[in-house]
A and B are shown apart, each in its own frame.
Chain A
């Protein structure tokens, strides 16, 4: 162990991780806000609002999670490079 002090989420990717959490938050919070959608109207294809709204949240969550995935992949890569550089720097 050459470096124990540095936080892994250092430098440039910290903002990306904040953005990822920001993207995922509505996917967790909105489905739990029942007063937002507990009504029958407006209906869509015969589905009361309560039902179609919750079904519609699924593709919305997929889009948000998908975006978060592509961001996380790049941020993870950057963090690993940074960790590797730090380790090698410590050794030198």
Chain B
């Protein structure tokens, strides 16, 4: 690869240095007396109010996920790639229904994390621990997806790719990663909050230019779709033998009947997973009053529209004749080919900064979970504020190193699979968290057993899924024949399904069955701290504070 022009690289470097300085300077922004407590480091002093919900939830959509992972699927001719659109439609009505209840009960009882709620509702430390561990684990591949986004931009710019030595090759990624880790460590949530201004400005400029300017350069959308369909048809006819033998996947723009359930289960599974991630819960709980969540649920789908158009940049890249072996480079390569040099630099900076901000937020949310629900609950009950902040800082580093391990060891042909792997895990907390908001029918030990079954089934199945044309490889696909167990032959299903969704169904079956057994045996279900009225409390009600106080005892 020849690399990019000096202008592109200079513009990119300018923005990267700008956010690095901002990241470290953020420690002084809205300066508190000291950064050595969790309140300041992990929640930015709780001074962000409603704004934080807007950029955290919106920021979940505009990450490397949108710019790199989703268009890559469409570019590669994966007919299920557009599932991100139904996913981001379905998620908001679900947020509308479920999350106000979580908001109310959390504000009444000072719960800061989903694990706090589970502890209060089910009176079970092991279950709360399982929820906390799942949140931390599931966040790692999501951060890894952001790192892949950074990696492909660096590759397209030709940085580090000249060498065969893996160390030199990955060095730029390590540098970007180390910078991110360093300013998150020193500034906490203030760093991504401040950088988010730059991120949002850059991303909106690039999005609007990309979806308006590019189609006019390429003969309009009908030409783009026409060229794409022709290229897929051509691929399918030249590779007919390989497709028939299973060594290659057929390309397509619309899912065939075999993949209908795959498409729907990916959309629904991702939607159910999104709002259980630690960073989403933090964002939602930080809103000022209950109705803010519902108002956001009605307003945020506007993002989905832009996401859909961005996804189609995968087809735009095909129509523009972009040729890359790694489909994730399609959109960065498209930008380099079609944009003037300086604007390509802006676009690359937008993608990289758009990956750094959520990576920082996610690692902080996971670190808060560690500190509150594992360190303070099990290891050091009498931890001082300074000890807590220190724990969270170190945990944020470990989570990021975990993410780096995913990038290095799990197949990153499709970065989206990383996010879907995280979804497989986080979905297993659905019965305890979301169903727990409505009923306490499920027994605490049954929930733990169902969670364990779902985790093991989901991880094992994903691990054993080879990439197409590469038998023996692992983590190759988020899809699997529905219930791939020996006794499933009699089921009237011959379809592919998102592993996370199948694992959740299995989880629910186990949880329900065991709940009935444990109730019949009169095994103690523990004491529920919450009262039905708690699920409707709003600002102004007795005991409901405007801001959650993370120092309040969780189980008061």
Contacts and interface: CB of A to CB of B under 8 A. Distances in A.
Given A31-B86, A61-B89, A69 B294 contact: yes
B218 to A, nearest CB: 11
B298 interface: yes
Tell me what chain B mostly uses at the interface: helix, strand, loop, or mixed. Answer: helix
Interface in B309-328: 312
Interface stretch (B196-204, B259-267, B330-338): B259-267
Interface in B274-316: 290-291, 294-295, 297-299, 301-302, 304-305, 308, 312
A65 B536 contact: no
Nearest to B85: A54
Interface stretch (B165-173, B220-228, B452-460): B220-228
Contact of A65 (B96, B253, B254): B96
Nearest to A43: B222
B93 interface: yes
A59 B538 CA distance: 29
B298 A34 contact: no
Interface string A11-49: 000000000010010011001111100111001011110
Contacts of B541: 80
A50 B302 CA distance: 19
Given A34-B260, A46-B220, A76-B536, A69 B96 contact: yes
B90 interface: yes
A39 B256 CA distance: 10
Contact of A51 (B93, B312, B532, B533): B312
Max chain A CB contacts within 10 Å: which of B92, B223, B261?
B92
A85 interface: no
B533 A83 contact: yes
A35 B257 contact: yes
B312 A62 contact: no
Interface string B236-255: 00000000000000000111
A17 B93 CA distance: 14
Given A54-B308, A73-B291, A46 B96 contact: no
Nearest to A61: B89
Given A38-B254, A55-B85, A62 B535 contact: no
A86 to B, nearest CB: 9
Max chain A CB contacts within 10 Å: which of B222, B257, B301?
B301
B221 A58 contact: no
B291 A76 contact: yes
B531 interface: yes
Contact of B298 (A21, A40, A66): A66
B81 to A, nearest CB: 11
A31 B221 contact: no
B97 A32 contact: no
A92 interface: no
B94 A8 contact: no
Contacts of B308: 51, 54-55, 58
B278 to A, nearest CB: 24
A48 B315 CA distance: 13
Contact of A72 (B268, B294, B304): B294
Cβ-closest 8 pairs across A and B: A46-B222, A31-B86, A46-B221, A34-B260, A24-B93, A32-B264, A65-B298, A66-B298
Interface of B: 82, 85-86, 89-90, 92-94, 96-97, 220-225, 253-255, 257, 260-261, 263-264, 267-268, 290-291, 294-295, 297-299, 301-302, 304-305, 308, 312, 531-533, 535-536, 538, 541
17 contacts: A8-B533, A33-B264, A34-B255, A38-B257, A38-B260, A40-B254, A46-B221, A46-B225, A55-B305, A55-B308, A57-B86, A62-B298, A62-B299, A64-B93, A73-B294, A76-B291, A80-B538
Given A57-B85, A61-B92, 8 more contacts: A8-B533, A31-B86, A46-B221, A55-B85, A57-B89, A58-B85, A62-B302, A65-B301
